[in-house]
Amino acid sequence: MATTTDAATNALGYEQARDELIEVVRRLEAGGTTLEESLALWERGEELSKVCRRWLEGARARLDAALASEEEAGAAAGAAADAEEE
């Protein structure tokens, strides 16, 4: 069952998730947090990483689809030009 926090995290845009992830990493690297705080930050970082990964995978799929569409259009245009020459 998704919690409100999960839904809010999943609603983040790529840039928002990336920026928050950078801040989480900065805080972890700086140290000075309790074990419990560090674990909470780590868990938040994992959630944000998944959001970023989903955005990037979606972008890759859109690019792949656009490139495939371009290739199909090019192949169709080439076939039409060949047919006109005959």
Q: What is the mean pLDDT of residues 2-6?
A: 63
Closest CA to 20 of 7, 9, 33: 9
> Residue 17 and residue 54: Cα distance in Å, rounded?
11
**Alpha carbon 35 to chain centroid, angstroms:** 29
- Is 60 exceeded by the pLDDT of residue 46? yes
State yes or no: pLDDT of 66 exceeds 60.
Answer: yes
Q: How much is the pLDDT for 30?
A: 97
Prediction pTM value: 0.72
Q: How many helices (H) and strands (E) does the chain have?
A: 3, 0
Tokens of 56: 């990037």
Nearest by Cα to 44 from 20, 14, 11: 20
pLDDT at 76 over 80: no
Scan for tokens 């990483």, then name that residue.
49
